[in-house]
């Protein structure tokens, strides 16, 4: 069944249900207990298997064959590298994907923001456990000013709601018109922060609940403590030291270099899907506005996890995690969130570090072994492809298992476990999927 905007009440309810999942139908969206731990080093981090180029090519093509318009990826194992692309960058002309394209990376931007904050922690200008009101008086007020800490912003336990829905009023009823109407609209970080601080219902403080508002506030704290625009500071102190040549905050609605069209379906409510590769990304700011390439993302996470961007103490803080979702008694979560980075147990059984990102039309996923030697970054250009019935239940989806199979195989150096395609895959929440609490 294809949902259409001709039945506003039904489609709004179904879309809201879809957004509540915060995932590709596999991880629940409930809040999690915020006991902080650091996962042990895993077997995946102790060896670096060789790349199977034929298997990588076949698996990436299988992702396309499952229904993804186009994708491109970069894989690294020690000094060995592989890059590949599949499918189309433009659905109208058939222009092919290319592995070196630039791409909007969404919430992977949060890792960069967290690194910048931790650099200021190392310099003694920010205290992770200080109340946010110390840095943003007048913006964060009342009990929050004293009870919410910088750490809570970075690991999403602040209890502050997301600003996305109030920033895009009408998006559940008519997403195409809403996204078109706001395509070229600039919006200031302070306005985004105020929308999130005023949004209801607010999640429970102390429990992990993903909110983009947290990283807008983190960017504003950077500005207050450094006297620089946050995006400028991150460029000078994170992007450049990492040696990234194609990673930047866009200064216009268009990307600088060659890129694919980025097609948004919004669970079938935008039919046919529309290209939103040209968009004013001020609505995402330090929470998700960055552009990068898959090679740059591999370089970034390799240097970060290898201790080249932060000192040992700061990196330990970054990798101190809280459960990413609530589990039944006796079960352990397979995703734990740190400070702008998470650790995830993939179906093959190994744990990896990284982040994902999703903005309108563009998805990205980057994972690495704990030592940073084995990495994969994947970009794709068809978003919210999942479909739901009139009761809000997700219909069978071949695309997601194919994506998981590619990532798991690329990380492990072998095809994904037998039967993965028919099993329920383990995935992180794609955290930019317009959270509703």
Q: CB of 117 within 8 A of CB of 221?
A: yes
φ, ψ for residue 134 (rounded to 5)?
-65, -35
d(CA 38, CA 322): 9
* 107 catalytically annotated: yes
d(CA 234, CA 126): 15
Q: CB of 25 within 8 A of CB of 429?
A: no
Give burial (CB, 10 Å; 0-12/13-18/19+) of 389: exposed
Q: Locate tokens 């692309």: which residue?
A: 85
d(CA 425, CA 87): 23
Give the number of other Cβ atoms within 10 Å of residue 46's Cβ: 11
If DSSP states are collapsed to H, E and C, what string results for 389-421?
Answer: CCCCCECCCCHHHHHHHHHHHHHHCCCCCCCHH
Give the number of other Cβ atoms within 10 Å of residue 30's Cβ: 12
Q: CB of 323 within 8 A of CB of 34?
A: yes
Catalytic pick among 23, 74, 77, 107: 107
Closest CA to 221 of 118, 320, 340: 118
Closest CA to 212 of 109, 65, 121, 129: 109
Give the number of other Cβ atoms within 10 Å of residue 130's Cβ: 14
As annotated, the active-site residues are 107
């Amino acid at each position: 069944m294809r949902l259409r905007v001709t039945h506003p009440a039904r489609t709004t309810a179904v879309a809201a249900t879809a957004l509540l999942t915060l995932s590709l139908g596999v991880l629940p969206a409930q809040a999690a207990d915020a006991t902080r731990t650091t996962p042990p080093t895993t077997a995946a981090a102790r060896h670096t298997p060789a790349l199977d180029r034929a298997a990588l090519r076949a698996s990436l093509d299988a992702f396309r064959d499952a229904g993804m318009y186009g994708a491109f990826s970069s894989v690294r194992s020690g000094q060995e590298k592989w890059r590949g692309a599949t499918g189309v960058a433009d659905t109208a002309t058939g222009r092919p994907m290319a592995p070196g394209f630039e791409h909007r990376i969404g919430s992977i931007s949060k890792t960069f923001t967290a690194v910048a904050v931790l650099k200021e922690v190392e310099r003694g200008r920010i205290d992770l456990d200080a109340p946010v009101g110390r840095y943003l008086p007048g913006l964060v007020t009342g009990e929050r000013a004293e009870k919410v800490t910088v750490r809570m912003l970075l690991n999403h336990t602040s209890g502050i709601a997301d600003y996305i829905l109030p920033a895009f009023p009408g998006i559940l009823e008519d997403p195409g018109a809403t996204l078109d109407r706001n395509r070229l609209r600039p919006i200031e970080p302070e306005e985004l922060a105020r929308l999130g601080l005023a949004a209801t219902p607010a999640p429970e403080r102390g429990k992990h609940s993903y909110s983009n508002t947290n990283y807008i506030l983190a960017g504003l704290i950077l500005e207050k403590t450094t006297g620089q625009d946050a995006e400028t500071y991150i460029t000078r102190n994170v992007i450049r030291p990492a040696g990234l040549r194609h990673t930047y905050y866009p200064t216009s609605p268009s990307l600088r270099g060659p890129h694919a069209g980025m097609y948004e379906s919004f669970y079938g409510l935008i039919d046919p899907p529309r290209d939103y590769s040209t968009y004013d990304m001020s609505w995402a700011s330090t929470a998700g506005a960055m552009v990068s390439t898959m090679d740059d993302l591999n370089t970034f996470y390799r240097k970060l996890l290898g201790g080249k961007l932060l000192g040992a103490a700061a990196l330990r803080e970054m990798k101190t995690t809280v459960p990413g979702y609530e589990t039944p008694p006796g079960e352990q979560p397979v995703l734990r969130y740190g400070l702008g980075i998470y650790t995830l147990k993939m179906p093959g059984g190994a744990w990896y570090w990284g982040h994902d990102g999703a903005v309108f039309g563009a998805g990205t996923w980057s994972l690495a072994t704990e030592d940073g030697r084995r990495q994969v970054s994947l970009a794709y250009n068809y978003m919210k492809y999942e479909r739901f019935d009139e009761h809000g239940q997700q219909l069978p989806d071949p695309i997601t298992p194919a994506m998981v199979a590619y990532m798991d195989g690329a990380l492990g150096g072998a095809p994904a476990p037998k039967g993965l395609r028919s099993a329920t895959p383990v995935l992180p929440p794609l955290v930019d999927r317009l959270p509703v609490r």
